Structure 1
Amino acid sequence: MIKESNKGIATLLAFALMPLSGFATDIYIPSLPSMTSAINASSLQVQFTLTLFLISYGASQLFIGSVLDSFGRYKACLISLVIFAAASIIIANTQNIYLIYVMRVIHGITVGTIVVSKRAYFVDLFSGDKLKHYLSLFSIIWSSGPIIAPFIGGYLQTSFGWESNFYLLAGLAIVLAILEGIFGGETLKNPSSFNLKNIFNTYLDMLKTYSFVLGMAMIGLAYSMVMVYNMTAPFIIEHHLHLTPVTAGYGALISGFAWMTGGFIGKSTIKFPFFKKLMICLSLQICFVGAMLLSTAIVSSLYSLLFFAFIIHACAGYIFNNYFAFCLGRFPKNAGIASGLTGGFMYVIVSTMSSGIVSVLPAENQANLGYSYLILVLISALVMTLVFKVNKNQKNNLQAA
């Protein structure tokens, strides 16, 4: 078990590991155009490395939570960090796109294990208002990855080439593994028996909770907006606007800062009426997506692209922050499964929606990105309406009882 004297440092380490998924996707975003020529692959093939990571990251979380609830968090996290580092080094030393695909799947599985174990860490050790405080910080801490990673990646690409991004990921994982080995420890106090029937029933009970399922859908749709931007903006900035990878990195930096801004606003309004504040946020998002599409007929520049992306992503970060805290705190007795299911379901949606939209609306110009946002925000409005109806019916049933 974790030592009481190490709990403070271990908590900081848990927060430090939260952005790893963002680093694994965003650090090489400015390198996407360069990778296409360096490894003799098409833009869609290189973009597919992001999709594969998201699919494996999401799918692994769907089942890894039950494993962590039965066998513990600590060793699984430590082993995953080492494997992640090895996979990063292999990617940096190959130009075979199919080997990169395999390593990205390994990245997804290992990062899924690490992140689920660290989300469960907080539910294991904290409760009440302190737990709510930590849960509301998750999306804020996590968003530091999308902010910092592409900024660093743009400079690494310009100075050392795309391979340097993956060497940095490997070095980061090794350092965190060493610190985790020194200060970390097991936090699971009451392991559940690994009974497939009971585990299946737990999953089934969660999936029967419609508010939980719809909340996961809102999380996935919110982050899909950021992922569609990440997959298309570098090509728009570097090919359509003829700017540099460093500029693309700054663009992703602004996008990540917008997400974090939304998270901070979400945390500061945590006591406000849940549905009212989210409906206002979604309405603003719809308005600015419409304004973005109208503006493309007048101007299409880096500044207009980043202006609208900032506001749309800030709204998405706000929605994500509120629903993420709701979903993770919904089933405290099965923290690992709830965490895994939330993250897994989210990334299944993200990978499906982002890859599907990018294939239909390729990375050509700001208008296509605007239409991509429009698809996602309209689906979000539909899901939000369903959430409101489910919540209203639940209140009516309670009053009738």
Structure 2
Amino acid sequence: MNPNASQLWPGRRWTLALLLATLSMIGPFSIDTYIPAFAGIAQSLGATPVEMQQTLSAYLLAFALMNLFHGALADSFGRRPVVLVGMTVFALASLGCALSQSIGQLLLFRALQGMSAGAGMVVSRAVIRDMFPPHEAQRVMSQVTLFFGLAPAIAPIIGGQLFVWLGWPSIFGLLALIGLGLSLLMGARLPETLDPAQRQPFSVGHLMRGYVQLGGSARFMALCLASGVPFNGMFLYVLSAPVFLGEHMHLPPTRFFYLFLMTIGGIMAGAWLSGRLAGRISPHRQVRHGFQIMGGVGLLNVGLNALVPVSPWWALPILGVYSLGWAMMVPVVTLLVLDQAPERRGMASSLQACIGSVANALVAGALAPLVMHSLMGLAWASLGLMATGLLAWAWVRPRLPQGGHGAPVAAVVRAG
């Protein structure tokens, strides 16, 4: 934690949370806005459904790759420069998407979007832990999740309406304006929260040693899997939305926002609940409750798909409750991840984001196309993703102190 934190942000805690939430939301917002326009983009560019699905995979893989470096760069050069460069590049990449004349060009600029969008999410997590002690950090992390949930909730509504009235390039034009606006806002308001005494030397050897030491920690990796993989139990349905909502639910693109309202509503409710529980129950107990909720509704989802005709009236609320369970536990697990490397929180955040993004990309590029045409396939895949995270948590929980904040990976916290 920065010893001068109170001077860096003398205002209310929720205003900093709101500022950081605007950074965190850019990644999911740039996914959710263009999903309603999939068919229109494919027709305009002469692309196949598989090629359109790869625009998601290209974004997510690039997001995962660059996430390895955002946090490490922020540990060496500071939080502000990484955010400002990232948002500027995102704005330019979004403009390139809007001007694309072929599916190849769109894939290229979507990858560039993914490389830059992660800067906000990775650095914002490190800023939170720079500024607040554990229980306060959990509350702020929950507030960030709560605020950021507003953006993807309205993203498909905005994207669907822009597509209908102005065409699909206008969606990426809006993203370019958002990226530019965020760059200007962060330049004016975001303080530099990295204590100069904690700056790390920037060298390839030092970075690689840090990644090897963190990546070689079974405890660290298990915590990353416990936080990132269960998210895909819900995200699988978002990635499959054109088929899940269009073919199975028979909903038009202008009503795709029903899914997003349920999932984001669940995330916001879970984040609010997580903040309320911070300091009142043990972190381990809170994580257990989150997995109990996800596991219960996951089993219910499988049972209903096997026995009852599909209907938005029950299928979508189930995903909302699942999202609540995930958002209830993920702020706790994320802080456990960051506390594995107290002096390299940027690197820890980077590696966590990378692992989660690789999982997202694999689900988008391989699992979603495989199961999206079967409701039972979607339900079982969602349950399996949740179970993977649960197994990781069951393994790591006994290896963490009962207070909830894991002992650091000692070798990583040295300056090298």
Shared topology, TM-score over 0.5? yes
Q: Using a 3 Å threshold, how does the CA distance of structure 1 residues 223 and 142 change in structure 2: closer, same or farther?
A: farther
- Which of 210, 221, 229 pairs up with 2:218? 210
Amino acid aligned to 2:265: F
Q: Using a 3 Å threshold, how does the CA distance of structure 1 residues 2 and 346 change in structure 2: closer, same or farther?
A: same
Q: Using a 3 Å threshold, how does the CA distance of structure 1 residues 183 and 382 change in structure 2: closer, same or farther?
A: closer
Q: Using a 3 Å threshold, how does the CA distance of structure 1 residues 257 and 92 change in structure 2: closer, same or farther?
A: same
SS of 1:84 mapped into structure 2: helix
Residue 154 of structure 2 is matched in structure 1 by 148
Alignment of 1:243-392 (within 5 A): 243-271=251-279, 272-296=281-305, 297-361=307-371, 363-391=372-400
Q: Using a 3 Å threshold, how does the CA distance of structure 1 residues 187 and 307 change in structure 2: closer, same or farther?
A: closer
Q: Give the whole-Å Cα distance in 1 for the aligned partners of 2:320 and 2:24.
A: 22
Can you give the 5+ residue segments of structure 1 that lack an aligned partner in the other structure?
A: none
Amino acid aligned to 1:84: F
Per mean C-alpha deviation after superposition, the further-off stretch among 376-385 and 56-65 is 376-385
Alignment of 1:143-222 (within 5 A): 143-190=149-196, 191-222=199-230
Measured against aligned partners, the alpha-carbon deviations of 1:45-102 in whole angstroms (never above 9, x if no partner) come to 2122122211111221112322221122222322222221111111112241111111
Measured against aligned partners, the alpha-carbon deviations of 1:285-304 in whole angstroms (never above 9, x if no partner) come to 23322222222232112222
Amino acid aligned to 1:219: S
Residue 99 of structure 1 is matched in structure 2 by 105
Measured against aligned partners, the alpha-carbon deviations of 1:219-261 in whole angstroms (never above 9, x if no partner) come to 2112212321111123222233332112112321221111222
Q: Using a 3 Å threshold, how does the CA distance of structure 1 residues 381 and 188 change in structure 2: closer, same or farther?
A: closer
Amino acid aligned to 2:174: L
Measured against aligned partners, the alpha-carbon deviations of 1:142-195 in whole angstroms (never above 9, x if no partner) come to 333322212322222232232222111111111222222333453333222113
- Counterpart check, 1:139 vs 2:145: yes
Q: Is the 8 A contact 1:124 1:187 kept in 2?
A: yes
Amino acid aligned to 2:348: A
Percent identity, aligned pairs only? 23
Residue 33 of structure 1 is matched in structure 2 by 39
SS of 1:88 mapped into structure 2: helix
Q: Is the 8 A contact 2:59 2:113 kept in 1?
A: yes
Amino acid aligned to 1:371: W
Q: Is the 8 A contact 2:72 2:347 kept in 1?
A: yes
Q: Is the 8 A contact 2:71 2:350 kept in 1?
A: yes
Residue 410 of structure 2 is matched in structure 1 by none
Aligned length: 395
Q: Give the whole-Å Cα distance in 1 for the aligned partners of 2:402 and 2:285.
A: 17
- Counterpart check, 1:233 vs 2:241: yes
Can you give the 5+ residue segments of structure 2 that lack an aligned partner in the other structure?
A: 408-416
SS of 2:47 mapped into structure 1: coil
Q: Using a 3 Å threshold, how does the CA distance of structure 1 residues 64 and 284 change in structure 2: closer, same or farther?
A: closer
Q: Using a 3 Å threshold, how does the CA distance of structure 1 residues 29 and 329 change in structure 2: closer, same or farther?
A: farther
Q: Using a 3 Å threshold, how does the CA distance of structure 1 residues 321 and 354 change in structure 2: closer, same or farther?
A: farther
Q: Give the whole-Å Cα distance in 1 for the aligned partners of 2:123 and 2:290.
A: 31
How far off its partner does 1:351 sit? 1.5
Q: Give the whole-Å Cα distance in 2 for the aligned partners of 1:185 and 1:207.
A: 30
How far off its partner does 1:376 sit? 1.0
Q: Give the whole-Å Cα distance in 2 for the aligned partners of 1:81 and 1:393.
A: 39
Measured against aligned partners, the alpha-carbon deviations of 1:18-45 in whole angstroms (never above 9, x if no partner) come to 2111111111122223323232222222
Please report the TM-score for the alignment, with normalisation by the length of structure 2: 0.85
